[in-house]
Amino acid sequence: MIIDASPPPQPSRKRVPGRLLFALVLAVFAILLLPYLLTPLYRFVPAVSTPMVWRWMTGARVVHAYLPLDAMAPALPRLVVIAEDARFCTHNGVDLRELRAAILSADDVSELRGGSTITQQTVKNLFLWPGRSYLRKALEFPLALWMDFILPKHRILELYLNVVEWGPNGEFGAEAGARRAFGKSARDVAPREAALLAAVLPNPRRRNARVPGAGLRRLAGIYETRAAVAAGVDECFRSRR
């Protein structure tokens, strides 16, 4: 009788890095997939943005009150669309025409201005991070197309108006922005006040609707003029009012 006294075979050390790599790839895939799974839920539930969550985690000030689109003054969503994404009702989440123009006028992604739709900005606020990079844009485009496919325009605009940063000290959403600027609800803002709020959006930390400078007043006037003559700009959300 022959007895094999050799030790039992040990797991190959080469398998451990392979398993770690597989787990890492799986975790990255899950993180990338999560926004696609969450998007349908935002048709029914209020949303919070990643900047809001970050400020909560770091103990910074957050002022936010969710307000349905139908409860806002009618001029506000219309003027925001005029200012931020005049083709909002006609594109599928990514405005290729505006994107091409923005790319042609920029030397690199860090200088890219314009071309970002309300849907793209909503995706960025809900799932991604501030700043400009090729990686963020690569993640943002398919998510914007998915959001536009899954959610009605009315809901996308409502989400955007409730999570966008609208002040220099943690004010998020139209309600917080209107109360900071005019001491009133977004339900009650006049068309001129709505135009000033819309003009603030590209840079709410440096532009102040409460004490607007000449440039901000001029920009608000341009948006009011455009809103008076723009046909169909609110077609996709006007019917819900």
CATH of the domain at 195: 1.10.3810.10
Q: Which residue has the tokens 């790319």?
A: 103
Residue ranges making up the domain that contains 97: 50-238
Q: Is residue 108 part of a domain?
A: yes
Does residue 55 form part of some domain? yes
Q: Between 31 and 197, name the one with better pLDDT.
A: 197
Residue 96 lies in a domain: yes
69, part of any domain: yes
- Percent above pLDDT 90 for the chain: 65
Predicted confidence (pLDDT) per residue in 86-137, tens digit: 999 999 999 887 766 655 555 544 444 456 899 999 999 999 988 777 888 8
Residue 144 lies in a domain: yes
**Do residues 77 and 69 make contact, with C-beta atoms less than 8 angstroms apart?**
yes
d(CA 23, CA 139): 21
pLDDT of residue 3: 56
pTM attached to this predicted model: 0.86
Whether 88 maps to a domain, the answer reads yes
14 domain-assigned:
no
Number of domains composing the chain:
1
**pLDDT, tens only, 200-229:** 998 898 999 999 999 999 999 999 999 988
Is residue 64 one of the residues assigned to a domain?
yes
Residues in CB range of 25: below 8 A, 6 or more apart:
none
Supply the pLDDT for residue 240. Answer: 59
